[in-house]
Amino acid sequence: MCGIFGIVTSQEQLLGDILTAAARRLTYRGYDSVGIATLSDDGRIDLRKDAGRVDTVAVKYNFSEMSGRRGITQLRWATFGEPSQVNAQPHLDSDGDMVGAHNGNVVNNVELRQQFIAEGLTVRSQNDGETCVHAVEHYINKGYDFIDAIRLAYGDLAGDYAFVIGHVRDDKLFAIKKGSGLVVGLGEDADGRPFTCVSSDLPSILPLTRKIVRIHDDEIITLWADHIELRSVKDGKRLYREPEIVTQNMDTVQKGGYPHFMLKEIHEQPQVAREVLHLLEEAREVNTVIERIRKARLLYLIGCGTSYHACLIGSVYFAQLAGLAAIPVLAPQFIPQYAPAVNHEDVGLFVSQSGETKDVLNALQVAEKRGMTGIGIANVIGSTLTKSTACWLPLCCGYEISVPATKTFTNQVVTFLYLAYRLAGREPRELEQIPALMERTLEMTDLQMKALAGEINAWNDLYCLGYGATYPIALEGALKLKEITYAHCEGMLSTEFKHGPLSAVSEGYPVIFAAPPDDVPLIVSGINEVTCRGGRAIVIGEDDSRLRANASDMIALPKAGPSISPLLAVLPLQLLAYYVSVARGYDPDFPRNLSKTLTVD
Ligand code: F6R
């Protein structure tokens, strides 16, 4: 994720407080490090940055005294390259006359860095934001002018990102984007002097102006204090777009126009899946993880709550795709059940959104004492888990604000699927269809789940069943329903239902089935056990005439095959839980009694 903000004003002035306020409003996109660069008319760049939260770093480096006519700030959500001063953004080019910052991921960062080092450029960090700056410098050194150098760099920088850059002997800022968002603001200060600004997102712009222009992929925007110029990256031709006036209030804007963070985060899933897939393709750490898994005597997948459900599906993927047995285990149960049998040949993948869950850290500590290799899979880089494991993989989701985990779950599943593909020697590029399939799933199921929520709202007790790779999805769907609707929803293996719980079924009793495409006949049996007793069998799965003929309700998913389909099935379940919660008048973002990070036993 990460966030950028840049401003161009009409005259030299104190810019530190304006940039700090903008950075504060981007904190939701990252808080591992922050930096500010100001550019003055006398040819000076003042760059101050460090690891830590905005308010701490702002005081430590006295951001308030920073002045200039142009300024850039960046909030970092670390992926690769630890949160540190050198990796903090913005970054300078080799001789310090250009400064830039980005958000997102440049997935060919490693190759480009090597190329720039070989060319003799001064590369100071591991961070891909610095690579963006050098990518421009590379073309300037070849004699291109500034704007053409940025356009050419755009072609070299692969991934999803937004990038802003300024040159000290100039009066403008330039910005480009690929995949990520980028918005420009046009306004006047309290004395009626014009300014322009650019940012990854609206919350940093709206306190300054409501007149905005949204930038698209393959466009380059130039900002002067009193006007902007939009051009095509490809041929440099001028493009014209009328500014729009944003009327939404700040609360709605911070939620990306959605009424709750949970709904926003549900809809962010395709984009963060795209980002994590890009990153996994490029990260050298992945090869280390694969090697260690291959050599392991026993492999454990360890987590709590939603992260444990990802471990469960990971274990199904490892077995089904790579013929590799992995033991999924709830972190606290690992200690009495498996730790006594662990030795130095074993490997544990410790999975956690926060990287701070005490139950997970306790298990890691015990496991490592017995010589086991611990590998982290975490969203919050710089968390205790990433600092305590030999090696870790990032989930690349940015800040997940809503208490119920959504986008971090799907990226955990995507990460496991990716690892399983690699272990199986299959081409992971097949997984690149996932983001588009997720988008399609959200489009296809949203209205249906909203309507269904109204109908099942009357029930305070229900079941969610799955089989094989959809068994963990059923557990996850049930957890989401429990967590934010306060109804009792039990997740279960579909074949177990007849061994007792079937007695709960009465007229209209809702039972949700997540149907794996390869096991339709088995699910059809389960459906009939429910419907013949008057129950309501709600089926989520790839469209199939056998399911349609038997189900009370069919929630059709796009065709995706046995590995990807279970991942898609969780999306309508998240939507259902969300809509029931809202229908009940609850706040799904902050369910009662719960906390996002559980640092207690
Ligand atoms: C449910 C949820 C929790 C967490 C669990 C572990 O929506 O978010 O069940 O999954 O508390 O948290 P992490 O993943 O931070 O270790």
- Mutation choice for ligand 1 from 302, 308, 353, 482, CB with most ligand atoms inside 8 A: 353
Q: Given a cut of 90, is residue 247 above it in pLDDT?
A: no
- Mutation choice for ligand 1 from 350, 357, 386, CB with most ligand atoms inside 8 A: 357
118-121 contact pairs (CB < 8 A, 24+): 121/93, 121/94
The radius of gyration of the chain from alpha carbons, rounded to an integer in Å, stands at 25
CA of 360 to the centre of ligand 1 (A): 10
- What would the pLDDT profile of 258-315 be if each residue is shown by its tens digit? 999 999 999 999 999 999 999 898 888 999 999 999 999 999 999 999 999 999 999 9
The verdict on whether 596 is a catalytic residue reads: yes
* Through-space distance between the first and last CA atoms of the chain, rounded to whole angstroms: 31
CA of 205 to the centre of ligand 1 (A): 33
**Cα–Cα distances in Å, from 538 out to 79, 520, 552?**
39, 14, 6
- Residue 80: the pLDDT is 64
Q: Which atom belonging to ligand 1 lies closest to the Cα atom of 403?
A: 8
Identify the band that residue 549 occupies on the pLDDT scale cut at 50, 70 and 90.
Answer: very high
- What would the pLDDT profile of 365-394 be if each residue is shown by its tens digit? 999 999 999 999 999 877 899 989 989 999
d(CA 269, CA 443): 13
Q: Which atom belonging to ligand 1 lies closest to the Cα atom of 360?
A: 16
Say what the alpha-carbon torsion angle 245, 202, 239, 9 is, to the nearest 10 degrees.
90
**Cα–Cα distances in Å, from 512 out to 164, 438, 539, 566?**
47, 20, 6, 14
- What would the pLDDT profile of 44-71 be if each residue is shown by its tens digit? 999 999 999 899 999 999 999 999 999 9
CA of 402 to the centre of ligand 1 (A): 11
Mean pLDDT of 330-344: 97
Q: Given a cut of 90, is residue 218 above it in pLDDT?
A: yes
Q: Given a cut of 80, is residue 596 above it in pLDDT?
A: no
The rounded Cα 388 to chain-centroid distance in angstroms is 22
- Do the beta carbons of residue 51 and residue 125 sit within 8 Å? no
The verdict on whether 2 is a catalytic residue reads: yes
**Cα–Cα distances in Å, from 570 out to 398, 515, 540?**
20, 11, 9
Mean pLDDT of 444-457: 98
The residue among 189, 222, 263 whose CA lies nearest residue 6 is: 222
Residue nearest to atom 5 of ligand 1 (CA): 305
**Cα–Cα distances in Å, from 10 out to 14, 82, 193?**
12, 37, 6
- What would the pLDDT profile of 68-98 be if each residue is shown by its tens digit? 999 999 998 877 677 899 999 999 999 999 9
Q: Given a cut of 80, is residue 256 above it in pLDDT?
A: yes
Q: What's the mean per-residue pLDDT of the chain?
A: 95
Q: Given a cut of 90, is residue 601 above it in pLDDT?
A: no
- Residue 315: the pLDDT is 98
Identify the band that residue 200 occupies on the pLDDT scale cut at 50, 70 and 90.
Answer: very high
User: What's the sign of the alpha-carbon dihedral 373, 377, 382, 385?
Assistant: negative
**Cα–Cα distances in Å, from 433 out to 428, 450, 538, 564, 568?**
10, 26, 27, 9, 12
Residue 339's CB: how many other CB atoms inside 10 A? 18
Q: Given a cut of 90, is residue 423 above it in pLDDT?
A: yes
- What would the pLDDT profile of 101-114 be if each residue is shown by its tens digit? 999 889 899 999 99
Q: Given a cut of 80, is residue 1 above it in pLDDT?
A: no
Instruction: Kindly list the protein residues whose Cβ atom lies closer than 6 A to any atom of ligand 1.
Output: 304-307, 352-354, 357, 360, 404-405, 479, 483, 598
Mean pLDDT of 402-420: 97
d(CA 588, CA 480): 10
What pairing do the DSSP bridges indicate for beta strands 228-232 and 91-92?
unpaired
The residue among 465, 540, 459, 461 whose CA lies nearest residue 499 is: 465
The residue type found at 255 is K
Q: Given a cut of 80, is residue 142 above it in pLDDT?
A: yes
Could you say which DSSP state residue 207 is in?
T
The residue type found at 329 is V
Q: Which atom belonging to ligand 1 lies closest to the Cα atom of 354?
A: 15
SS3 content of the chain, % helix, strand, coil (to 5): 45, 25, 30
- Residue 180: the pLDDT is 83
Q: Which residue has the higher pLDDT, 462 or 104?
A: 462
- Mutation choice for ligand 1 from 302, 308, 598, CB with most ligand atoms inside 8 A: 598
- Residue 257: the pLDDT is 86
Q: What percent of the chain has pLDDT over 70?
A: 100
- Residue 573: the pLDDT is 98
d(CA 352, CA 305): 9
Could you say which DSSP state residue 512 is in?
E
Residue nearest to atom 7 of ligand 1 (CA): 404
- Minimum mean pLDDT among 116-120, 281-285, 448-452: which range? 281-285
- What would the pLDDT profile of 497-533 be if each residue is shown by its tens digit? 999 999 999 999 999 999 999 999 999 999 999 999 9
Residue 463 host element (H or E): strand 461-466
d(CA 73, CA 52): 14
